[in-house]
Amino acid sequence: MKLPLYEVFVRSKRGLDHKHVGSLHAKDGAQALKFARDCYTRRGEGLSIWVVRSSDIVASQEEDAASFFDPSDDKPYRHATFYRIPPEVKNL
Amino acid sequence: MTDDHLSNTEPEAAFQERVDNEIKIEPKDWMPEGYRRNLIRQISQHAHSEVIGMQPEGNWITRAPTLKRKMILLAKVQDEAGHGLYLYSAAETLGVTREDMIGALHEGHAKYASIFNYPTLTWADVGVIGWLVDSAAIVNQISLQRTSYGPYSRAMIRICKEESFHQRQGFEILMPLASGSLEQKAMAQDAMNRWWWPTLMMFGPHDSESVHGAKSMQWKIKRKSNDELRQDFIDQTVPQAEYLGLAIPDPDLKWNEERGHYDFGEIDWDEFRTVVSGNGLCNRERLERHSRAHREGEWVREAMRACEEKKRTA
Ligand SMILES: [Fe+2]
Ligand SMILES: [Fe+2]
């Protein structure tokens, strides 16, 4: 029997986002959590773990990145540095 | 002391200790019901403000004076939609649904920032909104980056990063107007005259009058009081107005050497209450437009559901 793959996300500190750290095989979510604890947080790296079935993740393809993200490439005006504000004007 | 008493106060004490120690509260943690309710009210109100706030500026997208200005305004309004989304999602971690929040808005139970009930009459209004209204929002949002609730704090950090172009584009619209022809100057000054006081009202009632204030501060949902935030905003904005050469419509405004802050006149709280209670210039129009857009989008949601259903049964 092949066990399903789980993606593991660990929150290292309260207030921070859960961050992807890797993946593992397990028979279900509860087991994946235990395995993730043993595998990814042996040195107190985490306060909280999320596990998600890899097959439930919908991902964009990196090969498509050029066309996928291209709508934002020609919009420098979305950045604050695009606007020329005289240096003597503070707090803008 | 009964068991019952213990079980009621102990988690609350532990919760408060966490908050006092600047430890963030995360969605699955135990939290007092009041904290949850208070957060849902504040975050959903904040989300509604982002979304309703698209209307006054959206009003000028088709009439922006140049293609460049049009693209910038479009990008800004698009950002505000994104901010609404981040905030609705943060509120949803507290167990409230998107439908409930939108329903409360449409039924008039949920509020949004009173500022967006004023009309945008000229192009200078777009400049003044970016400069004043977004600056005021930023002053508030910077302090909220340190709010005690994790998802709200992270949404604020993301939003603050995106906001800085909003105020700068507003200032950049005003620079040529304020140093332009007599008509342009007059248009900029007129916008300033109409938006200054409503912007100050954005920070809400005085601390002494604020209903949720004390509890929000104790729970560190809010990190600075309404009056503190208002003062911060005024102190940073007056020199910017001086640079533009625009007069601030407040005869009592003057630097107080002793306090190290600007003194300023009293806000017209009758006007504030009128607008908050639904009787400002544009309240009905804003809500009606939001409800209509929601109703008219029903066929899209319907089509998506039908498509899903078809895929499932295929
Ligand atoms: Fe925003
Ligand atoms: Fe903004």
B203-214 pLDDT per residue, tens: 999 999 988 778
pLDDT category at B2 given cuts 50, 70, 90 is: very low
B32-55 pLDDT per residue, tens: 999 999 999 999 999 999 999 999
Report which secondary-structure segment, H or E, holds B296. Answer: helix B283-296
User: In angstroms, what separates the C-alpha of B217 from chain A's closest C-alpha?
Assistant: 18
The beta-carbon neighbor of A80 closest among B23, B164, B237 is B164
Burial, B66: exposed, middle or buried (Cβ in 10 Å; 0-12, 13-18, 19+)? exposed
In chain B, the percentage of residues whose pLDDT exceeds 90 is: 94
Mean pLDDT taken over chain B: 95
Whole-complex ipTM: 0.84
User: How much is the average pLDDT of B250-257?
Assistant: 98
Q: Are B65 and B180 in contact (CB under 8 A)?
A: no
Rg (CA), chain A: 21
Q: How many CB atoms lie within 10 A of CB B280?
A: 21
pLDDT at B314: 82
pLDDT category at B10 given cuts 50, 70, 90 is: confident
pLDDT category at A62 given cuts 50, 70, 90 is: confident
Domains and CATH numbers, chain A: 5-82 (3.10.20.520)
Residues in chain B, how many?
Answer: 314
- Between the CA of B169 and the centroid of ligand 2 the distance, in Å, is 10
- Between the CA of B77 and the centroid of ligand 2 the distance, in Å, is 8
Q: How many CB pairs under 8 A join A and B?
A: 56
Q: Could you give the 3-state DSSP secondary structure of residue B97?
A: coil
Q: Which residues of A touch B26 (CB under 8 A)?
A: 11, 14, 48
pLDDT at B8: 58
Burial, B57: exposed, middle or buried (Cβ in 10 Å; 0-12, 13-18, 19+)? buried
Burial, B152: exposed, middle or buried (Cβ in 10 Å; 0-12, 13-18, 19+)? buried
Q: What does the DSSP 8-state code read for residue A57?
A: -
Sign of the C-alpha dihedral computed for residues B118, B121, B126 and B127 taken in this order: negative
Does pLDDT of A1 surpass 70?
A: no
Does pLDDT of B14 surpass 60?
A: yes
Cα→Cα distances B272→B29, B104, B115, B181, B200, Å: 37, 21, 9, 34, 10
Tokens encoding B275 = 């607008």
Residue B161 near chain A (CB below 8 Å): no
pLDDT at B207: 93
d(CA B269, CA B208): 13
User: In angstroms, what separates the C-alpha of B283 from chain A's closest C-alpha?
Assistant: 30
Do residue B168 and residue A92 have CB atoms under 8 angstroms apart? yes
φ/ψ of residue B21, rounded to 5: -90, 15
Report which secondary-structure segment, H or E, holds B8. Answer: helix B3-20
d(CA B189, CA B178): 8
d(CA B34, CA B281): 33
Specify the amino acid at residue B289: R
Q: Which residues contact B221 (CB under 8 A, 6 or more apart)?
A: B35, B38, B39, B42, B147, B148, B149, B152
In this prediction the pTM is 0.92
Does pLDDT of B3 surpass 80?
A: no
Q: Could you give the 3-state DSSP secondary structure of residue A82?
A: helix
Q: Are B55 and B284 in contact (CB under 8 A)?
A: no
- Between the CA of B258 and the centroid of ligand 1 the distance, in Å, is 35
User: How much is the average pLDDT of B172-190?
Assistant: 98
β-pair partners for B255: B262
Specify the amino acid at residue B241: A
Helical spans, DSSP H, in B21-149: 33-52, 54-58, 67-92, 98-106, 123-128, 134-144
Does pLDDT of B233 surpass 90?
A: yes
B97-129 pLDDT per residue, tens: 999 999 999 999 999 999 999 999 999 999 999
- Between the CA of B82 and the centroid of ligand 1 the distance, in Å, is 8
Q: Are B57 and B77 in contact (CB under 8 A)?
A: yes
Q: Dihedral (C-alpha) A18, A20, A24, A28: value to the nearest 10 degrees?
A: 40
pLDDT category at A51 given cuts 50, 70, 90 is: very high
- The shares of helix, strand and coil residues in chain B, as percent rounded to the nearest 5, are 70, 5, 25
